Structure 1
């Protein structure tokens, strides 16, 4: 098999060929005041910048803004259906050619929040796989995928970036 991994390795040529692959999403509508207000409520954050136009107008922002991390919540922009296997509706690398069955584990995120997100912003998001590596843990090899997401508004202004790390842990017998 041409894409076979070296003995004991999970990295295949086919998997490595995904480095540089991109996925893009355009939100079906503007973010909106309700989404901002509900997100702030879910965070138990009663900052008037997120809900009170008259207060927010008098600040350096000049109007209502979103809590900083709302921009990186996939369901705000991707308009993806719920996956039947786990109920998730966020970005995934569909078709990623994993050499063995794996469990996905969140490895972490590094956010850079550059501009405030406003109710009238319509998000355009581009994900790009930067790197796929293999690491060894006590239980054996695991795959680590690092991707960069860029979040822009309808004017093309860069709002935020997210360097996302996903870990793929083999779930059982590698020969299955």
Structure 2
């Protein structure tokens, strides 16, 4: 195996470095299609068997430090999710909605890192959301690791951070989502 860098690997390294700080998609904020609301909170709490009454019992919630119903913190991502479009999903590579702009992941795909494995997701919650609030989100590429050797093939961990804000622009939470973009073992480059 030749460890000497070549033009292709130098170009790839430069393209990967240029991703850091770059917006994902169009770069415009994704605005929640609906404000935070009781029916969605109720369905979420039921689906996850989360019986915390601060999510579903107005009388109980009124007597807490929140003064009313609040959304479960990990619902944060849910509010800005677009309604999936099934038509054309195969042509979009499995993406539930058409994306605006060029995907930063194209850099990896073109270099043979065509495999994608979700690694982990971390949330940082600044405060609970209240019924009636509308939030929006922007996402940037936060970091890209050096190439790692993994059991499924060589790859790079790509982390993007989504910042969620309320109507006044106050940050209410962050989500770091990490994937591994890899070259599947046994697949020619």
Normalising by structure 1, what TM-score? 0.82
Q: How far apart are the structure 2 equivalents of 1:44 and 1:114?
A: 24
Q: How does 1:95-106 map to 2 (within 5 A)?
A: 96=105, 97-98=107-108, 99-106=111-118
Q: Is the 8 A contact 2:113 2:155 kept in 1?
A: no
Q: How far apart are the structure 2 equivalents of 1:90 and 1:104?
A: 18
Query: Structure 2 regions of 5+ residues with no counterpart?
Result: 1-5
Q: Is the 8 A contact 1:3 1:12 kept in 2?
A: no
Measured on the aligned residues, the alpha-carbon RMSD in Å equals 2.7
Q: Is the 8 A contact 1:78 1:91 kept in 2?
A: no
Q: How far apart are the structure 1 equivalents of 2:164 and 2:35?
A: 14
Q: Is structure 2 residue 121 aligned with structure 1 residue 109?
A: yes
The alignment covers a number of residue pairs equal to 169
Q: How far apart are the structure 2 equivalents of 1:87 and 1:94?
A: 14
> 1:44/1:30 Cα in 2 relative to 1: closer, same or farther (>3 Å)?
same
2:9 to 5, 8, 27: 5
Q: Which runs of 4+ in 1 moved over 4 A?
A: 90-93
Q: Is the 8 A contact 2:135 2:164 kept in 1?
A: yes
Normalising by structure 2, what TM-score? 0.77
Alignment deviations for residues 96-153 of structure 1 (CA, whole Å, 9 cap, x no partner): 2221152221111222111011121211111111111221224441111011111111
Query: Structure 1 regions of 5+ residues with no counterpart?
Result: none
Q: Structure 1 or 2: larger helix share? A: 2
Q: Structure 1 or 2: larger strand share? A: 1
